[in-house]
Structure 1
Amino acid sequence: MKAGDIMSISAIILAAGYSRRMGKNKLLLKYRGKSLIEHTIETIEKCGFSEIILVGRNKKIIEIGNRYGLVVVKNQNADKGISESIKLGVIHAKKTNGYMFFTADQPFLDENTIKKLTHEFTENYDYIIVPKCDVRHGNPVIFPISFKDDFLKLQGDVGGKIIINENLDKVKLIEINDGWELFDVDTNENYEYILKLEENNEYV
């Protein structure tokens, strides 16, 4: 990049998983009147990305993405693992400086945290930006465009973590204020827990 260039980041929502641990598509589960995928999309829309790409498999997920006017890509090979969704997101991104990957199962993720991470990337655009709270790391993560070829080489159920582990000297950990933002809904117990919070009006 040159001085004065406008920094652009493509938001990529990885929404083609099978939610096998839950036995149903967790991104369609309701929380506070909306599905988890809708919460994610609406939060991302507030953050000024150059584009928002949704990689999906489920018909309802794809319909939701279209309704919000996102760049929607259907993953025909989701059974091969998350690498297929990552590659599709990267391939369909327009000219960009980086990719920010979202898993869409973090109902407490806040727009201010996303903006904090994107701001760090504009200041350190050669680095992988990873949010952390205390000792826990999580999503969403921003990768510079320089890792495009690494993503396109991924195979199977392998995501960005392998690229992070192979490039630890290029990782910048950003402390966030609230560890709850890293909380993801992976199990029925996780979902029941956030419903109980909702029922008791104990919003995180």
Structure 2
Amino acid sequence: MYTYRVKAMKINLILLASGNSRRFKDNKLLSIINNKPMFMNVVEEVLKLDFNKIILVTQYEKIKEMLSEKNIEVVMNKNSDLGISHSIVIGIQNDTNADGYMFMVCDQPFIKADTIKRLVNKFISSNKEIVCVEYNGLTGNPAIFSKKYVNDLMNLKGDIGGKCIINRNLHDLETIKVYDKLEIVDIDTKKEFYDLMI
């Protein structure tokens, strides 16, 4: 197991698993990749790490049931139609005393624990308050925000995530480079899903 108790920073990981999968036309998070539901690929990687808390926000009872024996706090999102911002808000509300909040989506099933570890270590060692991954010059998920940005995150509305906060605060951003594009691929349609399975 990786550990990173440098500076005794409390970093909460918030896994976002509340999407309606409208473009997928089914619950994509339960689609099978690597002989397991898509979301479980992400879960198994993050459980190799040592976060202050792992909080998964979902609207799906099936996902909650499947995590009943995992060291993950599941928060039910009863208002998923309010968009990803609502999942972010209720994830933070679960514990407002962390030093940093890391956000990951559960439709990036090829993300690796080592990449997540590098992201966390960069956040701890950097003097910047936001850290995210970068592939080929483009920033994306996952990302970590310090508590400095809690109010900004809590004031997000609709289907808007932390990207807008990053774009407004590029002076306060550090990135880690990801070299395997597959790690940062998120799956939104069945065509994307089947193309990856070929």
TM-score bucket of the superposed structures, by smaller chain: over 0.9
Counterpart position of 2:65: 63
Tell me the TM-score normalised to structure 2 length: 0.92
1:120 to 102, 109, 122: 122
DSSP-derived class of the 2:8 partner: coil
- Provide structure 1 residue ranges, at least 5 long, that are not aligned to the other structure: 197-204
**Residue pair 1:54, 1:65 contacting (<8 A) in 2 also:** no
How do 1:101-112 and structure 2 match up within 5 A? 101-112=103-114
How do 1:50-89 and structure 2 match up within 5 A? 50-89=52-91
How do 1:24-43 and structure 2 match up within 5 A? 24-43=26-45
Deviation string 1:138-191 (CA, Å, 9 cap, x unpaired) is 211111111111111111111101111111111112212322211111111111
Deviation string 1:63-88 (CA, Å, 9 cap, x unpaired) is 12323231111111111111110000
**Residue pair 2:42, 2:110 contacting (<8 A) in 1 also:** no
Counterpart position of 2:147: 145
Counterpart position of 1:6: 8
Deviation string 1:102-130 (CA, Å, 9 cap, x unpaired) is 10111211110000000000012542111
2:194 to 192, 195, 198: 192
Change in 2 beyond 3 A, CA 1:15/1:97 = same
Q: How far apart, CA to CA, are the structure 2 residues paired with 1:126 and 1:32?
A: 36
DSSP-derived class of the 1:173 partner: strand
CA RMSD of aligned residues (A): 1.4
Q: How far apart, CA to CA, are the structure 2 residues paired with 1:118 and 1:101?
A: 11
Q: Which moved more, 1:63-72 or 1:143-152?
A: 63-72
Tell me the TM-score normalised to structure 1 length: 0.90
Counterpart position of 1:202: none
Change in 2 beyond 3 A, CA 1:15/1:125 = farther
Q: How far apart, CA to CA, are the structure 2 residues paired with 1:187 and 1:93?
A: 33
Q: How far apart, CA to CA, are the structure 2 residues paired with 1:127 and 1:41?
A: 25
Deviation string 1:46-100 (CA, Å, 9 cap, x unpaired) is 1211110000001112212323231111111111111110000111125321111
Shift of 1:9: 1.0
Q: Which amino acid aligns with 1:17?
A: G
How do 1:82-101 and structure 2 match up within 5 A? 82-93=84-95, 95-101=97-103
**Residue pair 1:13, 1:55 contacting (<8 A) in 2 also:** yes
Counterpart position of 1:19: 21
DSSP-derived class of the 2:67 partner: helix
DSSP-derived class of the 1:138 partner: strand
**Residue pair 2:133, 2:177 contacting (<8 A) in 1 also:** yes
Q: How far apart, CA to CA, are the structure 2 residues paired with 1:125 and 1:151?
A: 20
Q: Which amino acid aligns with 2:169?
A: N
Shift of 1:45: 0.5
Q: Which amino acid aligns with 1:172?
A: E
**Residue pair 1:53, 1:89 contacting (<8 A) in 2 also:** yes
Identity %: 37
